[in-house]
Each structure stands twice: as C-alpha cells, then as structure tokens.
Structure 1
Amino acid sequence: MTLLLVEDNPNIALGLTYSFRQKGYDLQTCTTLAAARAFLTQTRPRLLILDVALPDGDGFTFYQEEVAGTQLPTIFLTARDDEDDVVHGLDLGAADYMTKPFSTKELLARVAKYLRPENRQIEVGALVFDQSKLTVTVAGQLVSLTSLELKILILLLENLNQVVRRTTIIDKVWEWTGNDISDNAVTVYLKRIREKVGVDLIKTVKGQGYRIDRAPQGDRP
C-alpha cells in the first residue's frame, strides 16, 4: 500500500523509506508542499506523514487547505513539541502527532494502528461509517465532515439506540480538543451534521440529548 511522507530532511526521509519498505509499505516522499500537492492530485495514499515546517510553507495550513476535507489519516511529524501545537494539530483532525527525535519503531506501530486491515462498518439506513478508513458515505457519496463533526457523529453511532446526553458531548469535546463549548454550540454542531448527512437519522430527545436508532423511523423531532 502507498503511504506519503512529506519531509525535507534527507536523512529522515531515507531512513524512513528503508524501514517502511522493510515492512512492506510503499513509502513515497515529497520534500515540499508543492510536490505533495501535485502528488495528491494524482494518487490517494492510505496515510499521510506530514512535517509541519517545510521550505515552502506550514504543514498545518497545508493540512487545512488540502487534506482535512478528504478524511485522509494524517500523522504530523515535527520538531515542535509545544502543547498548543499538539492540541492544534489534533484539533485540525490529524490522526496523530509525533515530535522529533522519534523512534522509527514507534512511528511504524502508530501507522499500523491506522492501517489495520479491518473493514468494520456501521450501517444505518443509507449512511455507512467505515471504521477502518474513518469515512462516512450516504447513498454511496462521501460526506465531508470536520474532525469534530466526525467525532460527534461517531459518538452517536457507537451508542446506537441509546441517548447521548448533551453534557456527554460537551465533556467529549473538551477531552478531544481542550476547548470548552456551550450548550448552544452543541445544537449548532448537530445542525451542521444533520445538514451534511442529509438524512433524518439523528433524533433529538427533548431535555436530554440525541440518539441514532439502528432502524430509524419517522421524522426527526
């Protein structure tokens, strides 16, 4: 399977290319964001390893503009170890974040975690959530969700036929991002998810929270 490494340090790139190929991965390398952009227009890798500081730009910005909407699993690889940077990277939707110097063995282990050959899916009506690819489709069409919207939807899908309380969602958002959100923000997020999914799956349980039923019936309250 093809993976993409965007890294301008030739020693790191050569070392990782050798180690990954020893494990059976086809690791392709780009040294600039421009080259990575061109690569992604032609090929969709299974996973992206993206350095934050590159000669022609910032990896965070590149991820937001070019990658976030594609739901491509991404591991940020960088010398920055500031907690704010780590939170920012994960908040953008990255799968993981490693700081230099790092263990190649640990990076391989993390990559393997996101490339497990499981094809577990949760299907509810026309909606399908692929747990291995972290993608959501409705009637076969890919739905573009932000990282936080996806996490909230997954929370509901992992608790089918059960009410997920609004307070639980607020607590989870804090756990995922370190940001405190209001009760009204929960309403906004759910409205956006409903609009993007385009089907009446998420029920409002008045005064409590939200629920997705395995076999949804009727209209959304």
Structure 2
Amino acid sequence: MDTSSRPPSLAGLRRTYEGQPLLESGMAADPITQFTVWFEEALAAGLPEPNAMVLATASAQGLPSARTVLLKGYDERGFVFYTNYASRKGRDLAANPYASLLFPWHPIRRQVRVEGSVETLAREESADYYHSRPYGSRIGAWASRQSEVVSSREELDSRYEELAARWPEEPPVPDFWGGFRVVPSELEFWQGQLDRMHDRLRYRRADSGWILERLAP
C-alpha cells in the first residue's frame, strides 16, 4: 500500500493545558480593563509580538478571509489597525463593516477573541500614525498595491526605489491608506485547563452596559 501521499500524523501535537482558574469574581467590570491586564501579562511573559492578531473579515457575498495584522492602539472605543484600503481586507470592510479579532497567546495558554462593527479612522488620526512610522515603512505603503498580483519581486523593488527617489525625505500620506477601528460588541477571554475543560468568559454589550457570562468549552 502506497503511503507516500498520506498527511503526517497529528497525534504527537496533543497538548495538556493547565492554568489558573478563570473566575468571574476575578474579572474586571469593563472588558477593556481586563484586556489591558492580560496584554500586560503577555508582555511580561516575553511573548513575541503580543499585539499580533488574526483579523477575520467577510466579503459582501459572505466569503470569509483571515490574516494576521498588528494591533496599533486600543482604548474604550475599540481596537485599531492600519492597512491599504484597496487590499482584500479593506474591500471586505467597505462592503461588510464587521470583523473578528483573535489574539493567540499560546505560550501562556490564553486567547482573546473580539467581535464587532468596524469604522474608518478620521484622516487626521491616520496621518498622525503614518508620520510616526519609519521612513521605509512609509515608502512601502506607497510601493505595495496590496493584494494585487505582481509579476516579480523585481517589480516591487523597482517601484520602491522609484518612490524613494521621488520622496527622499517626507512622503505624503497615501489617500488609499489608513486606519480601521473594531468597535467591540463581544470580547471572550479563554484560559486553557486540564481535560479540555477550558474557561471561557465572555463580555457582551447590552443597553445596560457589559454583561459577563460563562460559555461551555
């Protein structure tokens, strides 16, 4: 029997999770406050890029798409990232302004999931962030027609060099680039536990404020 095309076994990837119990009594009343606590603990644990988050969007036809982006700021209004508005995620959000975020903090057996509507940042806010970026990143925002097919790496490099020559010091803010804010309606905090009896606590926005409830694992 030919086994050369069989996929590798995943049996060796089984893990045992064991963490401190996640109890309602230990959670903050506000989910952004709770996120800050966990984010600071992820930083203290030395996780690489704890601000990396999986962003899931859907097209107008409901076709899903996910990718990893970087969280660039958050507060009581929501979670901010920046991108090319003509990219696939930008087009998805223009047609269907809802998204989900996932922070996969596996080394500390935690994850945070966020769901909500999405709004475009004010131009001034996007410009402030753009001007704070390194020069190379600012040119890169111009050089990459994100999500479009390109013929080669050389084409990308040539366009970058052309734009760097055009703006050797201060490139302007591209009109096709800027920020989005995910305004949360739900935040779920997941803590791994033994025997797959994981803790899942969800904050759900209601007219009276945030409701905290436990979900079955």
Same topology, TM > 0.5: no
Q: State the TM-score, normalizing by the size of structure 1.
A: 0.24
Specify which structure has the bigger relative contact order, considering alpha-carbon pairs within 8 angstroms and separated by 6 or more residues.
2
Q: State the TM-score, normalizing by the size of structure 2.
A: 0.25
Query: Rg: which structure is higher?
Result: 2
Higher percent of residues as helix:
1
Higher percent of residues as strand:
2
